[in-house]
Amino acid sequence: MERLLDTELKKLKEKLLVMGGSVESQLEDVLRALTKRDSDLAIRVVENDLRINKFDVEIDETCLKLLALHQPTAGDLRFITTAMKISTELERMSDLAENIAERAIELNKEPQLKPYIDIPRMADWTIRMVKECLDAFVERDPALARKVCRDDDFIDDLTEQLFRELVSFMLEDPRTITRAIRLTFIGKYYERIADHATNIAELVVYMVEGKIIRHMSPERSEEEGGAAAVPS
């Protein structure tokens, strides 16, 4: 017979996955809002953030209830505290999608500065990292989680490349400065979403192996001390 706690943990995992799916949709929508210059869609992304926040609150409450009622130990305990933290990371990704949507709305009011090439690549790469870190969580797969951590380096490289290009635009024609700064911020937002995916991946390794791999890599970007340098 299945323990009551197992049933509850299964429900918790499902809720986290639904939340993760909603965050992925937000990321897909905001990329479309930017590349198709669809400000109505960007507004919907901003509005949808409230739904994601509600998920975060509910998951937090569920975790506290499980801790209080079932007094779990060992693996179950670690699963629940990991779920609480993953939910916070997902909620912050959604906040960043909202930030991208706000910049997109501003950008859509002006002529497009340049064809968006790097940003869709960053977005696709980031969305894949989000999918994979959640798969790693569900499958308890530390190898996949480690792959996500490694993939973060590529996003850092892309961010730096984007900066260089945008600075050259600004130098050539100062009228591009405002738009170029907005795009620079969007690059930074994607970099940070990728960092949150990496945080989740590190939490998964810890949950499965009990090994702390965060704070270990010298190559982490934003908020991990290795933020892509501003090109000179």
Residues in region 135-164 near a second copy by CB under 8 A: 163
The residue within the footprint of a second copy, chosen from 5, 43, 144, 167 (CB under 8 A), is 167
Residue 75 interacts with a second copy (CB under 8 A): yes or no:
no
Question: What is d(CA 113, CA 169) in angstroms, rounded to the nearest whole number?
Answer: 9
The residue within the footprint of a second copy, chosen from 2, 74, 111, 115 (CB under 8 A), is 74
Binding region for a second copy (CB under 8 A) out of 3-11, 90-98, 123-131, 153-161: 90-98
| CB contact at 8 A, 53 and 92 | no
Residues in region 181-200 near a second copy by CB under 8 A: 181-182, 184-185, 188, 192
Residue 35 interacts with a second copy (CB under 8 A): yes or no:
no
Question: What is d(CA 34, CA 102) in angstroms, rounded to the nearest whole number?
Answer: 10
- Closest to 113 in 3D by CA, of 181, 161, 164, 42: 181
| CB contact at 8 A, 55 and 26 | no
Residue 29 interacts with a second copy (CB under 8 A): yes or no:
no
How many residues of this chain interact with a second copy, rule: CB under 8 A?
A: 53
Nearer to a second copy, 92 or 123 (CB): 92
Shortest Å distance, C-beta 80 to a second copy: 9
- Closest to 83 in 3D by CA, of 14, 153, 167: 14
The residue within the footprint of a second copy, chosen from 96, 104, 162, 194 (CB under 8 A), is 96
SS3 (DSSP) at 41: helix
Binding region for a second copy (CB under 8 A) out of 14-22, 70-78, 116-124, 127-135: 70-78
Q: Determine the number of helices (DSSP H) and then strands (DSSP E) in the chain.
A: 6, 0
How many angstroms from the chain centroid is the CA of residue 224? 15
Does the CA dihedral 69-75-81-82 come out positive or negative? negative
Strand positions, DSSP E, the chain: none
Which chain residues interact with a second copy by CB under 8 A?
46, 49-50, 53-54, 56-57, 63-64, 67-68, 71, 73-74, 77-78, 81, 84-85, 88, 92, 95-96, 98-99, 102-103, 106, 163, 167, 170-171, 174, 177-178, 181-182, 184-185, 188, 192, 212, 214-215, 222-225, 227, 229-232
